[in-house]
Amino acid sequence: MRQSKYFLLATIFAFILMFSACQSENPVTSDSLLKISTLEADVPPGQLTEEEEDGLIHMRLEEKVARDVYIFLGDLYNNQKFLNIKLSEQRHMDAMEKLLTKYNVEDPVTDDTPGVFSDPVFQSLYDGFILQGQISLNEAFLVGKAIEELDIIDLEYQLTFVDNPDIIKVYTSLLAASESHLAAFVKSINSDNQIP
């Protein structure tokens, strides 16, 4: 898979965030914006640039990382935040798969088994998040925070050059969902895990 500069920078940023405890406040937004059925199937797909195609591939894999990490952490801690958000991430993966199909881009998810990635960069990202998340529930929330911040960075970047309305619509919905998830994780770090 072709690699973009933004992906390498975002990956480095994600690892830095994983070990950072700094907090940020983001508004709570709704994941209900993401409706896969609204991808305007009647609108013929436009020509994608190489960068746009790379973006679809990248975001599909990034959503799988999020889903798979939340599956693992939800099972490990039986924590409702992870259990709920993993369902949202599955919807995000489905939306990205639909776009890949519409634009005739090969799906990079060749094995949907949680925690399995054909791309070594995403495998390494997943493995690093899992290692940190096993330390404690607070560290798991920090992992969630890092994942959502990474999503936000990448989606905001994508929205600077994508011009296909259906892709813009999905990315905008994913961005709103990531902001909502980030707010939930920040709230958990700030309140659920304070030492009495």
Q: Do the Cβ atoms of 114 and 89 come closer than 8 Å?
A: no
Higher local confidence (pLDDT), 10 or 184: 184
What per-residue confidence (pLDDT) applies to 61?
97
35 against 66, higher pLDDT:
66
Of residues 101 and 23, the one with the higher pLDDT is 101
Rounded to whole angstroms, how far apart are CA atoms 90 and 70? Answer: 10
Topology of domain 48-191 in CATH is Ferritin (1.20.1260)
User: When comparing pLDDT for 118 and 22, which is higher?
Assistant: 118
Mean pLDDT, residues 143-166 taken together: 96
> What pTM value is reported for the model?
0.78
Between CA 180 and CA 30 the distance in angstroms is: 6
pLDDT at residue 122, as a whole number:
97
Percent of the chain with pLDDT over 70: 74
> Domain ranges in the chain?
48-191
